[in-house]
Structure 1
Amino acid sequence: MRRRDYEGPDDLRLMQDLVQRTWSPRSRLHIGDVAWERSVNFGRRGDTWRTALWEDDGQVVAWGWAELPDHLLLVVDPVRPEAAAEVIAWYRALVPEGACSVLEEETHLVSALEAAGFHPDDEAPFFTHHDMSLSDLRTPVVPDGFTLRHVRPDEVEKRAAGHRAAWSDLAPSKVTDEDFAAVMSTWPYRPELDWIVEAPNGEFAASALIWLDEVHGVGLVEPVGCAPEYRRRGLGQAVNLAALHALRDAGGTDARVCPRGDDGYPSARALYQSIGFKPGARTRLYVA
């Protein structure tokens, strides 16, 4: 087994290939998680993250993504659990004291973290996987004057502005037009699965982006947002339902979303459950 550093977009596809090849309902990450997190951070300085891949016989069997100064994201093929120890050792060489969030059902990762001296932080915020079948979807409804539609490829700037408006409550969003251009050019992005509510003045009031894994038929909803001045009008529910209908039309059979599961931020969880998502496994933060 050989480790090497991340070299660019071709390696992103290899990382996603590992996620897709090993995916199950008990997996922490979906190919859309990796696509979104890498592309939306397109302009981030290289010294604030490190990524490495572990290969054996020409196949990626594990990867680690260290978001410095203190968080590790990792994926390890469950049939190669010994690779988890190598990823964690690489991370500890970068950050002696750090943290790693895994799904509680990823026992091969939990065991490796505990063996390396990590312990669960039961007071930390966590996320809960929510899943739903697309067999029975309600019809989305928006107020008069508002329009539901998918994004066009030439609307990068408006799409980025809509995202910033929805995600700047506590501090200004750092997502630039260039970052969102990277999102919209990253596999498996599809404009027909990127839905918005257009306000009467032309602003993008709410949005929901879905990433479809065609192999498994599962679409990940990530991210969803609504600008503060347009909230409490049902736009978040409507844009999600419209995107889910588009997901079903594209061949998807199921959808997943991963909102906060603790009581520190309950509104997103309530929105998704009102649409029909059902809670399942949760993440757990391990710290060293």
Structure 2
Amino acid sequence: MTITKHTPGTEELPTVLAALRGWQGDQAPAALHPGDVGWFWRFGERTVAASVRLWRRDDQILAVGLVDGARLLRVNVAPDVFADEELAQAVAVDAADPGRGLLPEGEATVDAPSGSAVSAALRADGWSEGERWTPLRRDLGGPVEDPEVAVTVTVVRPDRPGDVADRVAVQRSAFARSTFTEERWHLMAAGPAYDSARCLLARDPSGAAVAAITVWSAGPGLPGLVEPMGVHPDHRGRGYGRAITLAGAAALRELGSSSALVCAESSNAAAVATYAAAGCVPQPEIVDLCRG
């Protein structure tokens, strides 16, 4: 049975999210999570649909790809085809050929599940190791401790425009190249993935917005995702990153998540240390695969 690649319409996106939810597990390697698609929803559902690729065999979705920017493809595969060579070759060929509508000529990056046949096929085709990432997980089987710093954490909601504005301001200050806006927050919050997500904002005793986090549940008993977390640069070094990460973990536990997952660049020692301080245990490193 032939494997085909397909770009979904907007009406198919709930099916895409359902497939990604079903592939999550505490023992599964870090890979594309429904929360990653939810965070991408800030660009609007038409952009999401145009950026998603599905590999199918008959009616079964075998793999989901997200073209995240001009030169990055993020892929996850169904657990029962993790070692499927036919699927691996199909994804590798599609990634290599600019005419197939995934990646342009020249420099490009693929984020594929570590240990999968897809990753092995790309390596065999000459893709080399690039950015190294440290996944961290926190078990949510027990209560999450309170932070040791004085903060007030609120859930950011569409009907609280002041909180939305402050949450966006923290994001833009924390990430130099951020293009986040209030309009994009509302687009994200209107997406179906956000039905099981929480956006949290931390304020210090003076009322200043100091940190923010968005967390995404994949469903009860499945790992949730932190994407993203940021601390305002004027307020770093005071424990606010740990505090907002703990608040995010507590929110995921309330949503029924089995664990909280986050990935940080291994080169970003401060981020890795912050997550570790919030009880997230570093897992084996994973690497992007690069061409050019």
Identity %: 25
Q: 1:251 aligns with which of 253, 256, 259?
A: 256
Would you say the 8 A contact 2:171–2:180 is kept in 1?
Answer: no
Shift of 1:242: 2.1
Q: TM-score, normalization: structure 1?
A: 0.83
Distance 1:228 1:220 in 2: 23
Residues 148-187 of structure 1: pairs in structure 2 closer than 5 A: 148-155=153-160, 158-168=163-173, 171=176, 173-187=178-192
Shift of 1:73: 1.4
Shift of 1:283: 1.9
Distance 1:120 1:212 in 2: 30
Equivalence for 1:73: 74
1:6 equivalenced with 2:13 (yes/no): no
Would you say the 8 A contact 1:150–1:191 is kept in 2?
Answer: no
Would you say the 8 A contact 2:138–2:261 is kept in 1?
Answer: yes
What letter is aligned with 1:35? G
Distance 1:142 1:149 in 2: 15
Equivalence for 1:214: 219
Q: 1:127 aligns with which of 126, 130, 133?
A: 133
Change (3 A) 1:170 1:152: closer
**Which digits, 9 at most, give the CA deviation of each residue in 1:47-87, with x for residues without a partner?**
xx743222233232223333454222122224332223223
What letter is aligned with 1:237? R
Count the aligned residue pairs.
Answer: 276
Q: TM-score, normalization: structure 2?
A: 0.82
1:139 equivalenced with 2:134 (yes/no): no
Change (3 A) 1:156 1:218: farther
Distance 1:2 1:191 in 2: 31
Q: 1:40 aligns with which of 39, 42, 48?
A: 42
Equivalence for 1:235: 240
Distance 1:223 1:60 in 2: 27
Change (3 A) 1:258 1:160: farther
Equivalence for 1:93: 97
Shift of 1:166: 3.6
Distance 2:196 2:5 in 1: 35
Equivalence for 2:101: none
Distance 1:250 1:167 in 2: 27
What letter is aligned with 1:186? G
* 1:127 counterpart SS class: strand
Distance 1:92 1:32 in 2: 27
What letter is aligned with 1:163? V
Distance 2:246 2:185 in 1: 23
- Stretches of structure 1 lacking an aligned partner (at least 5 in a row): none
Change (3 A) 1:217 1:71: closer
Would you say the 8 A contact 2:170–2:212 is kept in 1?
Answer: no
Would you say the 8 A contact 1:156–1:180 is kept in 2?
Answer: no
Distance 1:100 1:160 in 2: 33
RMSD, aligned α-carbons = 2.8
* 1:189 counterpart SS class: helix
Change (3 A) 1:226 1:27: closer
* 2:29 counterpart SS class: coil
Distance 2:187 2:218 in 1: 19
Would you say the 8 A contact 2:65–2:74 is kept in 1?
Answer: yes
**Which digits, 9 at most, give the CA deviation of each residue in 1:93-150, with x for residues without a partner?**
222432212343x3222222123332324xxx3211111112142212443xx52222
Change (3 A) 1:166 1:27: closer
**Which digits, 9 at most, give the CA deviation of each residue in 1:174-194, with x for residues without a partner?**
112121112212233258732
- Stretches of structure 2 lacking an aligned partner (at least 5 in a row): 99-103
1:270 equivalenced with 2:273 (yes/no): yes
Shift of 1:169: 5.4
Shift of 1:197: 1.1
Would you say the 8 A contact 1:206–1:225 is kept in 2?
Answer: yes
